Amino acid sequence: MKKLISLIILFSALSGFSQSIWGSIQGVILDSETGEPVPFANVVVLQNGIRILGTTTDFNGKYTLKSLESGFYNVQIAYVGFQTKRVS
């Protein structure tokens, strides 16, 4: 059976000099069974099914995605041996 990934996502918005609002998404990816961080998991931001931005987690399971325009996004996390998880 594949393990599940749990995640904590924090959203923040930064106002700039233009009328657009830019923000970031940051969080921590954890193994839902052990609570241990998942290093080097793939984190992708999707909007309407299109990949907008992506990164990988660090040794502590943390990630940050910067320079996102305000809007609605899906965050998808994938890692070998775990079920892929998508959060709106």
Q: What's residue 7's pLDDT? A: 58
Delineate the domains of the chain, giving CATH numbers in brackets. Answer: 5-87 (2.60.40.1930)
Dihedral (CA of 81, 11, 18, 50) sign: positive
Distance between CA 68 and CA 51 in Å, rounded?
12
Q: What is the 8-class DSSP label of residue 87?
A: E
Confidence class for position 23, pLDDT limits 50, 70, 90: confident
pLDDT, average across residues 47-57: 94
Distance between CA 1 and CA 51 in Å, rounded?
28
Q: Is the pLDDT of residue 13 over 60?
A: no
- Residue range 53-85, pLDDT digits in tens: 999 999 999 999 988 888 889 999 999 988 999
Question: In terms of pTM, does the model score above 0.85?
Answer: no
